[in-house]
Structure 1
Amino acid sequence: MTSLRKLASHLGLSITTVSRALDGYADVAVATRERVEQAAKAMGYRPNPAARRLRRGVGETVAFVLPTDPGHFHEPVFSELLVTVGEELARHEHDLMLLAARPGKDEMAVYHRLVEGRRADAFIIVRTRHQDERIAYLMAKGVPFVCHGRTDTAEPYAFIDGDGEEGFHSLTQRLVARGHRRIAFLSAPTHLTFAGLRLAGWRRAMQAADLAADIVEEAEPTEEGGFALAHRVLDSHARPTALICATDRMAIGAIRAAADRGLTVGSDIAITGHDNIPAASYCQPSLTTMELPTRLIGARLADMVLARLGGADLRDLTEIHGLVQMPRGSSGETNLEGVVRTADAQEAVFEVTEGRKT
């Protein structure tokens, strides 16, 4: 690829003159500007948007690509997160670009377009996978990124995550202490790292209590997914007394399925989720859940992206936060006041620089 220096040398002009001509400055003669633009086109020169923005005092652009159908930006778990990230980046005169793409080929096509077209200077990656093509690609290209979640790569990378394994272990222990012996786990697809971690926490608590950890079903982390899985396990000959769902959206679907069976949620069956989306408070009964405090995490994600753009050491940008447990009526825990904090909730931050496990 032709560099600015090569273009300037070819034209016999200074780099500054060529740069200002391409940036459209009025102090460059029209004839010179046209000559520079024609040569740039002929030589295949493509300006670096990040460098151009830096020269002109304009902030950089951070891309947030939701792994979902194009145009579907309604994922509630990310709504407040995006608001916080956007506000923090705006304070530093940086822009947040939001896109959506189906996981797989469509999604990677978006990443290729943004990177190769130099339309984004950094990325925030969500719904990380054990083997994540997005992360491998950005690493290979040397593009800054921060993950909301973890992956299996042995290479250092910047991430922030909740301690899902410990959160679901603590929740399961609570349900066991309340007398539940058949506890099913309704999982998101286990190629997603968060799903594997949450499943591991449930399984560890069940095994420690010497209980069977054999009722596991998997579907997309949506209301439809939770509804279908709950119907499936509630139709079994030995019906569970509790359903632990990987996400709140799955739990909301499971509540509807329990109602279809004539079961009273909170007494006949306990149902729990994760995320503390707004709808969790308005279910009937309200949903027992847990959360990684959204505004805290949004602010930290923005700080980490800014640090990566500034060249910060990756080893200083790895955090795992404890989860805030919220016992409510759907698990029959309305007698509990306030919240239960797992590993001191947001005060618990662990540096992870090697030996990442899922």
Structure 2
Amino acid sequence: MTTLRELARHLGLSPATVSRALNGFPEVGQATRARVLAASETLNYTPNVTAKRLATGKSGMVGLVFRTLPGYTIDPHFADFLASLSEALADSRIDLVFHVASAEDQLSHYRRFVKDGVVDGMILSAPEPDDARIALMESRNLPFVVHGRGTEDAGYAYFDIDNAGAFRAATTLLVELGHRRIAFLNGSERLGFARQRRGAYDAVLASRGLRTPQRFVVHGEMTEETGYAAAAAMLAEPVAQRPSAFICSSTLQALGVMRAAAEAGLTIGSELSIISHDDVLPHLRSENFAPPLTVTRAPIRNAGPALAQMIMARMDDVAPARLQRIEKADLIVRASTGRVPKWGEEAWTH
């Protein structure tokens, strides 16, 4: 392996000049920097990470707080995102340092990251409209990027999907299939993405003169058990009052709805329709459900590489306004949706 001194000798430059060129110091001219970079690639030079960190004053580490669900289980959506993020950062020789915390205890972990000064930036996930974590990062001038938006007009760097567009399309499809009693299983109502999805659902129904009883809109953790419990209660209602369709914020919730439908003796697609948002979790393929699930599709793994690039740009002082990306979600219609059954043609009466 070529050393820094050997590279400098090959170029006829001092080791200090070569080091400054490799680390982007402004006093090194563009022509010299280009020459050094070309030679380092030709000679297969790999910089000493510790030396680089000493030279730049940066740790080469990015922080993240890993949220656990009640009972200390791991959210599979977040785990898949974490895997793609870690892989993308590693490709750029940046280490991901993460803590595990409950939703209630996250802020104290962010404070610790800021106080200890061991990371060059932070990646936040599942933002709220008035998020104390974001306020903390901004007050300490620590570079950060966010997976999602707490508000539609967020001023920070973020990668998000078009939640409103996705759930507008899902609700519209069901209404056009004749459904008037559409239940909605959503994420926690304090989270930005859940508010965006609920807003789109409400807007479509209002535009068609439809309304939904509050008990048929459920916010909470997006798990199979919460989906099952909510759907089982709704499907136990008298036929004239139960939903003919469900919209779910997660395929995990949709699994629970399918289980409740089976227990109620309802055939999915003809007697009960289901649409879910699909993060494309590798162990839970919506096309393999029975029947295949109609979804709004946006792979959560896409967020990892995008946010890795964004946090590196923020650490290089790229303005947040230049680092805001919204990815479209595709509506994929499959066999879990169909025309409204006769018993579901009327809107809720109470």
TM range (shorter): 0.7 to 0.9
Matches within 5 A, 1:205-224: 205-214=204-213, 215-224=216-225
Unaligned runs of 5+ in 2: 1-49, 340-350
The answer as to whether partners of 1:271 and 1:287 remain within 8 angstroms in 2 is: yes
1:153, distance to aligned residue in structure 2 (A): 9.7
Matched with 2:112 is 113
Alignment of 1:158-177 (within 5 A): 158-177=157-176
Of residues 247, 256, 259, the one that matches 1:256 is 259
Q: Which residue pairs with 1:287 in the alignment?
A: 293
The alpha carbon displacement at 1:277 in A equals 2.6
CA distance in 1, matches of 2:179, 2:146: 36
Map of 1:95 onto structure 2: 95
Distance in 1 between the 2:261 and 2:150 partners?
A: 34
Q: Partner residue of 1:277?
A: 281
CA distance change for structure 1 residues 139 and 224 in 2, over 3 Å: closer, same or farther?
same
> What letter matches 2:138 in structure 1?
M
State the partner residue of 1:67: 67
Q: Which amino acid aligns with 2:224?
A: E
Structure 1 segments unaligned to the other structure (5+ residues): 1-49, 334-358
CA distance in 2, matches of 1:78, 1:219: 16
Moved more, 276-285 or 51-60: 51-60
Matched position secondary structure for 1:184 = strand
In the other structure, the counterpart of 2:47 is: none
Counterpart among 301, 314, 322 of residue 316 in structure 1: 322
Say if 1:263 and 1:309 are closer, same or farther in 2 by CA, change over 3 A: same
User: In angstroms, what is the RMSD of aligned CA positions?
Assistant: 2.6
Q: Which amino acid aligns with 2:209?
A: D
Aligned-residue offset at 1:97: 2.1
1:218, distance to aligned residue in structure 2 (A): 2.1
CA 204–154 in structure 1, closer or farther in 2 if over 3 Å, else same: closer
Report the identity percentage. Answer: 35
The alpha-carbon distance between structure 1 residues 154 and 295, as it changes in their structure 2 partners (threshold 3 A), is: closer
Q: Which residue of 2 aligns with 1:22?
A: none
Q: Distance in 2 between matches of 1:153 and 1:207?
A: 21
Provide the rounded CA distance (Å) in 1 between the counterparts of 2:323 and 2:337.
36
Matched to 1:240, the amino acid is: P
Structure 2 distance, partners of 1:173, 1:183, is: 11
Do 1:126 and 1:149's aligned partners in 2 also have CA atoms closer than 8 Å?
A: yes
Give the 3-state SS of the residue equivalent to 2:193 in structure 1: helix
- Corresponding residue SS for 1:179: coil
CA distance in 2, matches of 1:58, 1:157: 22
Q: How does 1:99-248 map to 2 (within 5 A)?
A: 99-104=99-104, 106-152=105-151, 156-214=155-213, 215-237=216-238, 238-248=241-251
Alignment check: 8 A CA contact 2:69 2:75 kept: no
294, 297, 306: which one aligns with 2:303: 297
Between the aligned partners of 2:142 and 2:162, the Cα distance in structure 1 is 27
Sort the Cα spacing of 1:69 and 1:173 in 2 relative to 1 into closer, same or farther, 3 A: closer
Say which of 312, 332, 335 aligns to 1:329: 335
**Aligned partners of 1:123 and 1:286: how far apart in 2?**
38
Aligned to 1:265: 268
Q: What secondary structure sits across from 2:336 in the alignment?
A: helix
Call closer, same or farther: CA 1:268–1:54 in 2, change over 3 Å: farther
The 1:57–1:90 alpha-carbon spacing in structure 2 relative to 1, beyond 3 Å, is farther
1:356 paired residue number:
none
| SS of aligned partner of 1:101 | strand
Contact (CA 8 Å) 2:222, 2:252: kept in 1 or not?
yes
Please give the alpha-carbon distance, in whole angstroms, between the structure 1 residues aligned to 2:61 and 2:275. Answer: 38
Q: Post-superposition shift, 1:317?
A: 1.1
Aligned length: 283
Shift of 1:52: 8.2
For 1:122, give the aligned amino acid. G
Q: 1:261 to 1:51 in 2, by over 3 A?
A: farther
Cα drift, residue 302 of structure 1:
0.9
AA aligned opposite 1:319:
R
Partner Cα separation in structure 2 for residue 71 and residue 175 of structure 1: 35
